[in-house]
Amino acid sequence: MWMHLHTAAHALRQGGVVAYPTEAVYGLGCDPLDQQAVRRLLQIKQRPVGKGLILLGSDIDQLLPFIKLSAQQEQQLRQHWPLATTYLVNSSELTPDWVRGDHAKVAVRVSQHPIASELCRLAGTALISTSANHGGQPACRNAFQVARQLGSEVDFIVTGQCDRAARPSTIVDLESGTILRQ
């Protein structure tokens, strides 16, 4: 399987869009700094750029270039991750508007899924993470569903398991503590 992940990471570094298992559903990912790759991912998803996207990292250090945190906020995140919680955090100047969308904050998460986490590590960057599906369709929960729904639209499909009982991550505004999705 690890060779499989090296191939997926290579595709990501070359501007590709990759489907991979996460805690609850399959995700679609690409390099967040590659505008062409992000635009292609948004086209596959049929998602407007203004909605914004989640950044997924193997650890908080992969996410730090994209966010502005106080020392207390960083300590809080280091204590909470990796849990299936996504936080809205003030974005740094490095975070492109095609990732943030129409928002001043960016959604970030450290994955506890071993495959998703290793893929971020091998790619050498945080990744865009959005559910693998066309707009209005159910999120894919296995590689077969990804192949059926998205087929040749993605450059690589990583095989692996999602937790069938898990739900998409909770989204919390780090500054206010407001839960936006549970």
Q: What is the pLDDT of residue 2?
A: 63
* Domain 2-18+33-47+55-173 fold: DHBP synthase (3.90.870)
Q: What is the pLDDT of residues 29-76, one digit of tens each?
A: 999 999 999 999 999 999 999 999 999 999 999 999 999 999 999 999
* Token reading at 102: 């129409």
Q: What angle do CA 172, 136, 67 make, to 5 degrees?
A: 30
Residues 130 and 70: their CA atoms lie apart, in Å, by 27
pTM: predicted TM-score of the whole model, two decimal places = 0.92
Alpha carbon distance 64, 135 (integer Å): 30
Where exactly are the structural domains of the chain?
A: 2-18+33-47+55-173
CA distances from 67 to 54, 70, 182 (A): 12, 10, 23
How far is Cα 57 from Cα 20, in angstroms, rounded to an integer?
13
Pairing of strands 156-157, 105-110: unpaired
Q: What is the pLDDT of residue 165?
A: 65
